[in-house]
Amino acid sequence: MRDYTTDAIRNLCVVAHAGAGKTSLIEAMLYSSGAIARMGRVEDGTTVSDFDPDEVSRRTTLAATPCIAEWREHKLNLIDSPGYEDFYGELESALRVADAAIIVVDAVQGVAGGTEKVWAAAERHNLPRAIVVNHLDGEDADYDKVLASVQDLLGVQPVRVTLPVGAGSSLTGVVDLLAMRGVQLAADGKTAEVGDIPADVEGAAEEAREALIEAAAEGEDSLTEKYLEGEELSAEEVAEGLRAAFRERVAIPAFAVSAIKNVGVSVLLDFIVDCFPSPADVPVPATLSGEEVTLTADASGPLAVLVFKTVTDPFSGRLNLFRVYSGTLGVESVQNTSRGEAERISKVNHPSGKQQIEAKQIVAGDIGTVVKLAASGTGDTLARPDKPYVLAPVSFPAPTLSLAVFPMTEGDDDRLIAGITRIADEDPSFHVSRNNDTKETIISGLGEQHLTVSLERAKRKFNVNARTAAPKIAYRETFAKAVKGVEYTHKKQTGGSGQYARIVVDVEPLPRGGGYEFVDKIFGGAIDQQYRPSVDKGMQASMTEGVLCGFPVVDLRVSLVDGKTHPVDSKDIAFQIAGREGFKKAAEMAGIVLLEPVMNLEILVPEDSMGDVIGDLNGRRGHVMGMDQVNNRQLIRAEVPLAEMSRYHTDLRAMTRARGTFTMTLSHYAEVPREAQEKIVTAIKQG
């Protein structure tokens, strides 16, 4: 592969609802550009981007994978990304290092729930977007109907850059509206033949051309003025206006494609070269010594490199994928400015699928890989010590599902933790934690498939065998009422010195979140000053152990009001024991209630799903706290007990046809209803 300058590089992420054909589109682009000799198929597990064993077995994209196409002396870094929401952590990595996005929409299905989500994700990254309507060779494919659904559900007016010639099995080519020419697929199934526009689509082409010119005129003020004055725009002016309108996110170009038949792909590649931004066109925000600065993608500028993905291999170690935002990275020593540690770059490569193409250096704007960095991981910045720039890391989605995980073989706990922790190192959307209250190791991710695949990778890579279960709820306990004058005397007499401690306490529950208070109300010397902290220590020990089901007791005020000290037998341990046993006696007198974690829930749903979602929340003992309009959706704010949220991510997808999303954070602990408490206590005691 030849060397490319920054302005000849294009970084684009291809995103879609699962099954829309983005991997097949990338395969067709690689084939058309000559990067591969024949097109692979997702169904056969032979595509360039879906090479991981998990992707091959599932026949779907699970990881962000760059692939390289060379077209008209430009280097195109085509980043394939997952379509399933369970793997949107990889999507965020891909979008973070892309300068534009292609949104692939199925020509039969139209805009689906996943389409809306990837569109919103690209919008959050402020990326220019193009629409590719794929599978136009399919039965019931309808280009115009799909673009109407784009306008209706995504709220944008797409501008046709190509029109299909024929439909379904009779699809033979496209009309290139920028050049006003027909582009037919040659007999070899690879090259495109340019000719006249077929007569049966001339009228539609003229109409679409006018809409294209109007969109192009909005790209630059001078063209807008010329257009409004009735002057005709030249072909060069139309192209320049559309380029500006696309880069400024004013126009959303749309393309008709059949990736499987390789129809319309060459026109799309031309548009990427001519109109997609190069890294040199995109400013790079960074910080230097805490101050915000803006860099440009200049190969001779100061070094700023972002690690956006990490792959762990049990034999070759860690492989880091990075993008150079400024400067040039070669074999050298650099600093990880995110962690303050030195790193040595021994070799760099260009990634294309599973292939690593050797390179002497990676210039600003380009993507590369490096192996065996000592400390660097996803989200870290590499720079030079004299200019320690820091780039914004990848922002990963919060987990929506947690499971308890256990080794299949008793005694393999350490191996299990080591294996899944290494998986978490390469996937920041996969979390591993320890719940000390329930004594469980918890894995958290973006859905059932995400957690399943993560454990399968741990097994394949690190020989870790695990099983999962629903995690136990970390309940809390508290007193049902206040009790006063609770007296406990501890006496122990053996052959030597004995133990003696007498205490009298008042115990009262505090408001939720009130914590724990110990109040010394003794006046005079009923209990020697040195022993009063021992009572507090004993009380807290019993609170930690719990009373009803072994969960910590919270939100209490303990007042030490009286007691007695023996001149010989009183000692620290005696008053600790008195505190522990006195607390248990007080708990028996007051009664214990369970407290359950209540979660803050924010749910973004289409308006037509609101009734189902709110009804479901009511059935989960939830309380709707408010609603807000967000574009054409509703944001529902609610409080729901955590015990009722099992598998909510799956239920929400079903209720909203995969269009709903939610975030969940701990709000507070609240008393469990009496009838529910009895069932919970019985279940816990039965194991």
How far is 359 from 208, CA to CA, in rounded Å? 44
Domain enclosing residue 648, as ranges: 595-685
Q: Bridge partners of 253?
A: 159
SS3 409: coil
**Reduced to 3 states, what is the DSSP secondary structure of residue 663?**
strand
Domain-embedded: residue 666: yes
DSSP 8-state secondary structure symbol assigned to residue 436: T
Type of residue numbered 204: A
What's residue 625's pLDDT? Answer: 96
Q: Name the band, by pLDDT with cuts 50, 70 and 90, for residue 676.
A: confident
Residue pair 541/576 in contact by the 8 Å Cβ criterion = yes
**Residues 191 and 78 grouped into a single domain:** yes
Question: Are β-strands 516-520 and 556-564 bridged in parallel, bridged antiparallel, or unpaired?
Answer: parallel
End-to-end CA distance of the chain: 63
Q: Nearest to residue 81, comparing CAs of 124, 126, 114?
A: 114
The pLDDT score that the predictor gives to residue 125 is: 97
Q: How many other CB atoms are there within 10 angstroms of residue 276's CB atom? A: 23
pLDDT given for residue 67 in this prediction: 98
Residue whose C-alpha is closest to residue 85's, from 12, 14, 18, 20:
18
Task: Please give the Cα distance from 355 to 466 (Å, whole number).
Answer: 31
Strands of the sheet containing 499-509, edge to edge, are 483-492, 499-509, 556-564, 516-520
d(CA 291, CA 285): 11
Is 248 a member of any domain?
yes
- pLDDT at res. 493: 78
- Average pLDDT, integer, range 671-686: 87
pLDDT recorded at residue 601: 95
Q: What average pLDDT does this structure show over 556-567?
A: 94
**Which of 177-181, 306-310, 602-606, 677-681 is the least confident region?**
677-681
Q: How far apart are CA 314 and CA 475, in angstroms?
A: 39
Closest C-alpha among 430, 385, 372 to residue 405: 430
pLDDT (average), residues 359-381: 96
Q: Are residues 201 and 335 in the same domain?
A: no
What's the rounded Cα separation, in Å, for the pair 680 and 592?
A: 13
Tell me how crowded residue 395 is: count the other CB atoms within 10 A of its CB.
Answer: 13
Last residue of a domain, one of 230, 263, 281: 281
SS3 sequence of 571-625: CHHHHHHHHHHHHHHHHHHHCEEEEEEEEEEEEEEEHHHHHHHHHHHHHCCCEEE
Does 132 lie in the same domain as 44? Answer: yes
Q: Are both 25 and 146 inside the same structural domain? A: yes
Question: Average pLDDT of 195-223?
Answer: 94
**What is the distance between the alpha carbons of residues 364 and 168, in angstroms, rounded to a whole number?**
43
- Residue 454's pLDDT band (cuts 50, 70, 90): very high
Give residue 107's pLDDT: 97
* One domain, residues 175 and 261: yes
CATH code assigned at 601: 3.30.70.240
Domain end: 343, 366, 390, which one? Answer: 390
CA distances from 271 to 10, 98, 276, 277, 282 (A): 11, 16, 7, 11, 18
Residue 258: DSSP 8-state? B
Q: How many Cα neighbours within 13 Å face the side chain of 194?
A: 7
Q: Under DSSP, is residue 665 helix (H, G, I), strand (E, B) or coil?
A: strand
Give phi and psi for 181, each to the nearest 5. Answer: -145, 160
Rounded-to-10 torsion of CA 158, 159, 162, 165: 70
CB 391 within 8 A of CB 304: yes
Across the range 473-499, mean pLDDT stands at 90
Domain-embedded: residue 396: no
Residues 463 and 350 grouped into a single domain? no
Task: Give me the CATH number covering residue 323.
Answer: 2.40.30.10
Number of domains in the chain: 5
Taking 90 as the threshold, does the pLDDT of residue 473 lie above it?
yes
Q: Is there a contact between 561 and 519 (Cβ–Cβ < 8 Å)?
A: no
- Work out the average pLDDT over 653-664: 92
Q: How far apart are CA 183 and CA 681, in angstroms?
A: 72
**Quick check: 369 pLDDT over 80?**
yes
Structure-token match 């008053």, residue found: 575
- Nearest Cα to Cα of residue 521 among 471, 488, 561: 561
Report if residue 397 sits inside a domain. Answer: no
pLDDT tens readout for residues 139-171 = 999 999 999 999 999 999 999 999 999 989 899
Residue 400 lies in a domain: no
User: What single letter denotes the amino acid at residue 106?
Assistant: D
Report the distance separating Cα 365 and Cα 97, nearest Å.
9
- pLDDT at residue 686, as a whole number: 80
Would you state the torsion angle of the CA atoms of residues 434, 438, 442, 447, taken in this order, to the nearest 10 degrees? -150
Q: Are both 482 and 424 inside the same structural domain?
A: no
Checking if the pLDDT of 244 tops 90, the result is yes
Residue 398 covered by a domain: no
Q: Give the whole-angstrom CA distance, residue 534 versus residue 541.
A: 11
Distance CA 254, CA 248 (A): 16
**Count of positions (residues) in the chain:** 687
Residue 230 falls within a domain, yes or no?
yes
Query: Is residue 583 domain-resident?
Result: yes
Residue 633 pLDDT > 90: no
Give 326's pLDDT tier (boundaries 50, 70, 90): very high
Of 590, 619, 641, which marks where a domain is finished? 590
CATH number at residue 31: 3.40.50.300
Contacts of 231 (CB under 8 A, 6+ apart): none
Task: Say if residue 624 is in the same domain as residue 657.
Answer: yes
Q: Please give the Cα distance from 377 to 338 (Å, whole number).
A: 10
Tell which residue, 120, 164, 152, has the closest CA to residue 15: 120
Q: Based on the domain organization, do 633 and 659 belong to the same domain?
A: yes
Among 50, 180, 154, residue whose Cα is nearest residue 101 = 154
Q: What is the CATH number of the domain that holds 573?
A: 3.30.230.10
Q: What is the mean pLDDT of the chain?
A: 94
E strand map for 96-241: 100-106, 129-134, 158-160, 162-165, 173-176, 181-185, 192-195
Same domain, 308 and 380: yes
Are 433 and 363 in the same domain?
no
pLDDT the model gives residue 229:
84
Burial class (CB in 10 A: 0-12, 13-18, 19+), 289: exposed
Q: What is the DSSP letter of 263?
A: B
153 has which bridge partners? Answer: none
Whether residues 12 and 149 share a domain: the answer is yes
CA distances from 165 to 135, 181, 206, 503 (A): 13, 11, 14, 92
Predicted pLDDT of residue 227:
83
pLDDT band at 495 (very low <50, low <70, confident <90, very high): low
pLDDT at 687 over 80: no
Mean pLDDT of 221-227: 87
Q: How far is CA 442 from CA 332, 431, 469, in A?
A: 40, 8, 10
- pLDDT of 682 higher than 90: no
Quick one: tokens of 201?
Answer: 């689509």
